[in-house]
Amino acid sequence: MAIALSVNLNKIALLRNSRPGNYPDPMTHGAICLDAGAQGLTLHPRPDQRHVRPADVRRCAQLITQYSGAEFNIEGNPFAAPLADYPGLLALVEETRPAQCTLVPDTHSQLTSDHGFDLTQDGERLLPIIQQLDSWGVRVSLFMDPDLAQIRLAKTLGADRIELYTGPYAAAHAQQDAAAETLLQSYIAASTLAQEIGLGVNAGHDLNLQNLTAFHRLPLIQEVSIGHALTVDALYMGLAPAVRAYLAICQGAVHE
Ligand code: PXP
Domain ranges of the chain: 4-250
Q: pLDDT band at 254, cuts 50/70/90?
A: confident
Task: Point out the least confidently predicted range of 31-35, 108-112, 145-149.
Answer: 108-112
- Which residue of the set 44, 51, 71, 173 is catalytic? 44
Mean pLDDT of 171-179: 97
Cα of 249 vs centre of ligand 1, distance in Å, is 18
pLDDT, tens digit (0-9, with 9 covering 90-100), for 53-82: 999 999 999 999 999 999 999 999 999 999
> Residue 36's CB: how many other CB atoms inside 10 A?
19
- Which residue of the set 75, 163, 173, 223 is catalytic? 75
Mean pLDDT of 171-195: 97
Q: Give the mean pLDDT of the chain.
A: 96
Encode 98-143 in three state secondary structure: CCEEEECCCCCCCCCCCCCCCHHHHHHHHHHHHHHHHHCCCEEEEE
pLDDT, tens digit (0-9, with 9 covering 90-100), for 211-224: 999 999 999 999 99
pLDDT of residue 175 exceeding 80: yes
Q: Is the pTM of this model over 0.85?
A: yes
Q: Cα-Cα-Cα-Cα dihedral of 44, 49, 50, 52, to 10°?
A: 40
pLDDT of residue 107 exceeding 90: no
Cα of 141 vs centre of ligand 1, distance in Å, is 13
pLDDT of residue 239 exceeding 80: yes
* Closest residue by Cα to residue 55 from 16, 81, 19: 16
Instruction: Give the pLDDT of residue 111.
Output: 72
What residue's CA is closest to ligand 1, atom 12?
Answer: 205
Fold of 4-250: TIM Barrel (3.20.20)
Instruction: Give the pLDDT of residue 138.
Output: 98
- What is the bridge-based pairing of β-strands 139-144 and 100-103? parallel
Q: pLDDT band at 245, cuts 50/70/90?
A: very high
pLDDT, tens digit (0-9, with 9 covering 90-100), for 193-212: 999 999 999 999 999 999 99
Instruction: Give the pLDDT of residue 196.
Output: 98
Name every protein residue with a CB atom under 6 angstroms from any ligand 1 atom: 8, 10, 44, 75, 102, 104, 112-113, 143, 163, 204-207, 225-229
- Let me know if 205 is a catalytic residue: yes
Q: Which of 8, 102, 145 to mutate to test the pocket of ligand 1 (most atoms within 8 A of CB)?
A: 8
Mean pLDDT of 160-182: 97
C-alpha to C-alpha distance for 145 and 142, rounded to whole angstroms:
10
- Let me know if 44 is a catalytic residue: yes
Q: pLDDT band at 87, cuts 50/70/90?
A: very high
> Residue 152's CB: how many other CB atoms inside 10 A?
14
Mean pLDDT of 91-98: 98
Please give the biggest Cα pair distance in the chain.
49
